[in-house]
């Protein structure tokens, strides 16, 4: 994650954690636009009982990151069921589109897998009267290098090799670099078909930050939301990439773990330089979050993540989706519902609920900070 703010870097001590069993909540996620959940009365579940709906539940509009699409589906179902009159309309479109709609004043919150850039913060001041946009980390997860190769069930890649694959510098599955990382594997003499995001994507931004940190110079482009690598084919959203990998033999792409799980896709382990390759699991991602640092100032909670970690059991390809909101200048008619919804998503119940969808529940140290900031939104 880029450093988006100046100021004193604050260490965030986050303990590694395993996913816990959570409430059974409906809504299998997707990238579908304009998804809405609504409901009346209490669902009678523990989740509903834990939700404070605010004084006058109303509709909220959000857009952006498809990485958190499955999480939002879970959250909006529970929130809508508990809060009569509340609906959460969230369209995907990618982080770039979400930030753009937020700075244009079209939505109450944006989902972005990378923190606001200084120019975006400046642009937000036009719609956040007396304030500015801030980054609130809400959905933590990991990026899987998903692949579809017959008879290869435990693929291992490292930073340089993965970067070269996605830049068409390595074009065959039985390339010596891949074979060296996978002794004994039956790698086919077949062309590699790589897929990347067609939309401006925070997932792409995080992947290319990993390449910049861990590829040893094999990735020669700046880390960015817009894809810059040579070759390959594009697909829209995380769901689009996952769908292509599922359909196309000898393919590879990148998507959040939740989409890998939903589509029953295989994920490569990463050779980080630790004693053994690190599998793409939520628990291993949690070990990386253990060394996350807050780099935002004031109410902004943007994080720095260590993509080049070599710690044992620490999966390096991680990301956090931020909910971007105004610290001041939110619309009066939706502010109460916005605060209520964010309070639920940051709660133990909200975080445990998305754990079953492949996300990494935020640690208490961070949710405590969120619970300090959210009530101050104005």
Compute the distance between CA of residue 351 and CA of residue 139 in angstroms, rounded to an integer: 8
Distant-in-sequence, close-in-space partners of 371: CB < 8 Å, separation ≥ 6: 343, 346
Query: Would you identify the CATH topology of the domain 143-285?
Result: D-Maltodextrin-Binding Protein; domain 2 (3.40.190)
**Roughly how many angstroms between the first and final C-alpha of the chain, as a whole number?**
27
pLDDT, residue 48, reads 53
Closest to 35 measured CA to CA, from 87, 106, 85, 96: 87
pLDDT, residue 365, reads 85
Contact in structure between 63 and 111 (CB atoms under 8 Å): yes
Compute the distance between CA of residue 343 and CA of residue 338 in angstroms, rounded to an integer: 8
The pTM of the full predicted model, rounded to 2 decimals, is 0.78
* CATH class of the domain comprising 10-141+321-376: alpha beta
Contact in structure between 204 and 69 (CB atoms under 8 Å): no
Residues of the chain with pLDDT under 70: 1-49
Beta-strand runs (E) in 77-164: 87-93, 109-112, 133-148, 156-158
In this predicted model, what pLDDT tens digit does every residue of 154-213 receive, in sequence order? 999 999 999 999 999 999 999 999 999 999 999 999 999 999 999 999 899 999 999 999
pLDDT, residue 92, reads 86
In this predicted model, what pLDDT tens digit does every residue of 111-147 receive, in sequence order? 999 999 999 999 999 999 999 999 999 999 999 999 9
Closest to 148 measured CA to CA, from 273, 270, 236, 255: 255
pLDDT, residue 197, reads 96
User: How is residue 223 written in tokens?
Assistant: 């880390």
Residue extents of the structural domains in the chain: 10-141+321-376, 143-285
Compute the distance between CA of residue 123 and CA of residue 103 in angstroms, rounded to an integer: 6
Average pLDDT, the chain: 87
pLDDT, residue 49, reads 52
Size (the chain), residues: 378
């Amino acid at each position: 994650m880029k450093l988006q703010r100046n100021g004193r870097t604050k260490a965030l001590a986050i303990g590694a954690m395993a996913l816990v069993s959570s409430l059974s909540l409906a809504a299998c996620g997707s990238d579908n636009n304009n998804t809405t959940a609504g409901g009346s009365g209490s669902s009678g579940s523990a989740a509903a009982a834990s939700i404070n709906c605010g004084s006058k539940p109303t509709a909220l509009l959000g857009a952006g990151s498809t990485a958190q699409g499955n999480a939002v589906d879970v959250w909006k179902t529970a929130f809508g069921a508990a809060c009569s009159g509340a609906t959460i309309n969230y369209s995907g479109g990618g982080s770039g589109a979400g930030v753009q709609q937020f700075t244009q004043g079209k939505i109450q919150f944006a989902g972005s897998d990378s923190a606001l850039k200084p120019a975006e913060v400046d642009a937000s001041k036009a719609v956040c009267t007396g304030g500015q946009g801030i980054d609130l980390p809400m959905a933590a997860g990991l990026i899987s290098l998903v692949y579809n190769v017959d008879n290869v069930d435990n693929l291992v890649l490292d930073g340089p090799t993965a970067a070269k694959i996605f830049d068409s510098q390595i074009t065959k599955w039985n390339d010596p670099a891949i074979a060296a990382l996978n002794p004994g594997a039956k790698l086919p003499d077949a062309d590699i078909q790589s897929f990347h995001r067609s939309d401006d994507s925070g997932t792409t931004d995080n992947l290319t930050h990993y390449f910049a940190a861990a590829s040893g110079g094999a990735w020669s482009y700046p880390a960015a939301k817009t894809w810059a690598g040579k070759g390959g084919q594009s697909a829209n959203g995380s769901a689009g990439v996952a769908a292509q990998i599922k359909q196309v033999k000898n393919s590879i792409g990148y998507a959040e773990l939740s989409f890998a799980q939903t589509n029953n896709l295989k994920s490569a382990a990463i050779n980080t330089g630790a004693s053994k390759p690190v599998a793409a699991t939520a628990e291993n991602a949690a070990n990386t979050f253990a060394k996350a640092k807050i780099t935002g100032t004031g109410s902004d909670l943007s994080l720095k993540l260590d993509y080049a970690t070599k710690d044992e059991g620490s999966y390096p390809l991680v990301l956090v989706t931020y909910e971007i909101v105004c610290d001041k200048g939110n619309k009066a008619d939706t502010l109460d519902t916005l605060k209520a919804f964010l309070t639920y998503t940051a709660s133990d119940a909200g975080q445990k609920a998305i754990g079953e969808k492949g996300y990494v529940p935020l640690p208490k140290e961070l949710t405590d900070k969120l619970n300090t900031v959210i009530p101050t939104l104005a």
